[in-house]
Amino acid sequence: MPTEAAAQEKNVTAIKTSGSIHSNLSTPGLYEHAVARKEAVITAGGALCARTGKHTARSPHDRFVIKGASTGKHVWWNDQNVALDAEKFDALFRKVEFYISKRDLYSRDCYAGSDPKSRLSVRVYTELAWHSLFISHLLIKPSPEELPAFSPEFTVVSVPGFTAMPQIDGTRGSAFILLNFEKKLVLIGGTAYAGEIKKAVFTVMNYLLPLKGIMPMHCSANLGKKKDTAIFFGLSGTGKTTLSSDPLRRLIGDDEHGWSDGGIFNFEGGCYAKVINLDAGAEPQIHAATGRFGTVLENVVYDKATRELNLNDGSLTENTRAGYPLEFIDNSIKGPAFPHPKNIVMLTYDAFGVLPPISKLTPEQAMYHFISGYTAKVANTEMGVKEPRATFSTCFGAPFMLHHPSVYAELLEKKMKKHGAQCWLINTGLCGGPYGVGKRMSIQHTRALLNAALDGKLAKVKFTKDPVFGFGIPARCPGVPPEVLNPRKIWADKAAYDAKLSELAGLFAANFGKFEVKNKAILGAGPRV
């Protein structure tokens, strides 16, 4: 019975099959397997395009953490971090073992983390060839010299064709993502959405690294000409990808990073970009990546005759994706680690139109806003009227954070103070009024404000204190009209502005109350309600 030789290594789960295990195949080899097995097609530009079926996005409510000696005391158990008994896991794993016992599998050895001192070695077994290609881009390949001695510390098994029975297996549905830290094993089943593999590994890192004093971050990062690193936190729609992809700065990574005593390091070796309605003029490099050999496309619509892509067609899903190596971005940079950041940027789309286009945060305020993870979205009401809706995602990545938010926030404060990093809150949303009245912040103004912050020009400017939120508002900035800097000045109805600002402050306070934070410094950094 063929098995992986490394399956007998200490503390590594043995994965066995009477079929073949294809280990670390090349990109052309995986193309051949994916096409021969009718998993995907080659598009006109050379990218490999697959469809994921029912699941076209992550299934956060199908993720469980196995409760053990370590996780029992460290995990912040809530409606997102849900426990599953070890006995249920073992029973489901036996079913998965039987399912794969006669099937061909694809094995990929990779690292989560570019820093040799902090990275996690992971072996990923996939049922689908294109999944193996995807994760070869999104994680980091060992060098040819490292590969013979590669020893996995964690194992991931992804079997989309196997579905759970909730009433028996204890899951919420047929799909499942199970994290077992005692057995160092991740099980994924019932979903072919490749992002589940990437995010499962990210969640593992978010659990393990804080225990070592290393901060995991759901953020993008870039490097300036003066070797100054900046990191960007922001939820979907806030402009994180656009603002961090600056042609004058080198892109370190677009999604997941760590901050250790040695500096900033990328968790990944590639990018996973949303490509619906992608514009070649606005995002030329991402657009170009959709037509390159090696790129993996998910649920992108193409002409069946010509295989030409239609990036504007969201008939399968609005969450169309492209996974590709970081080197497909011309101004990207790779390395084991980069200098400690001098600037931390938190991005928000404020549809209430009351937050300044840029404000300076103290370390304590940074902790508060980091835990809050605020943005606002416009949602349809029952009457068809569009109104802003506040959205909070803890640490700008709630589905992936297993510890209590204060653990990550205190790490942020400690590192900010130790390395002298300044934190900025940038509003890329509305100004001059709420939704229906205000206008979107000018991208030119946002760029000018961001550049002034990163270049140190705002360090010489006088700041005024916002009476409600307490952050600093700059009096001036090159290239930006002074009246734009203070949102109250450009609201025609000042009383309406004050009322809307108080409303938003109340939403912040109500959201923050659920965390039961004991740190007085963090509590004192919130808005005055």
**Residues taking part in catalysis:** 58, 199, 218, 236, 240-241, 255, 321
Residue of 189, 180, 164, 14 lying closest to 90 (CA atoms) = 180
Parallel, antiparallel, or unpaired: how do β-strands 343-348 and 21-23 relate?
unpaired
Residue of 60, 61, 85 lying closest to 71 (CA atoms) = 85
Residue 77: how many other CB atoms lie within 10 Å: 14
DSSP symbols for 447-496: HHHHHHHHHTGGGGS-EEE-TTT--EEES-BTTB-HHHHSHHHH-S-HHH
**Can you read off the two tokens belonging to residue 61?**
């409510």
Residue 225: how many other CB atoms lie within 10 Å: 8
- Burial class from Cβ neighbours inside 10 Å (0-12, 13-18, 19+) for residue 442 reads middle
Q: What's 94-120 look like in SS3?
A: HHHHHHHCCCCEEEEEEEECCCCCCCE
What is the Cα–Cα distance from 364 to 54, expressed in whole angstroms?
Answer: 43
Residue of 113, 93, 97 lying closest to 105 (CA atoms) = 97
Residues found in the chain:
529
Torsion over CA: 411, 403, 182, 59 (sign): negative
Residue type, 411: L
Do residues 469 and 500 make contact, with C-beta atoms less than 8 angstroms apart? Answer: no
Q: What is the CA radius of gyration of the chain?
A: 23
Residue of 510, 438, 503, 445 lying closest to 474 (CA atoms) = 445
Residue type, 459: A
DSSP symbols for 383-449: TS-EEEEEEE-GGG-GGG--S-HHHHHHHHHHHHHHHT-EEEEEE-SEESSSTTTSEEPPHHHHHHH
What is the Cα–Cα distance from 159 to 155, expressed in whole angstroms?
Answer: 13
Residue of 415, 474, 390, 418 lying closest to 231 (CA atoms) = 415
What is the Cα–Cα distance from 399 to 407, expressed in whole angstroms?
Answer: 15
Q: Which SS3 state, helix, strand or coil, does residue 321 take?
A: strand
What stretches of 152-216 show up as alpha helix (H) in DSSP? 166-169, 195-208
Residue 223, H or E segment: strand 220-223
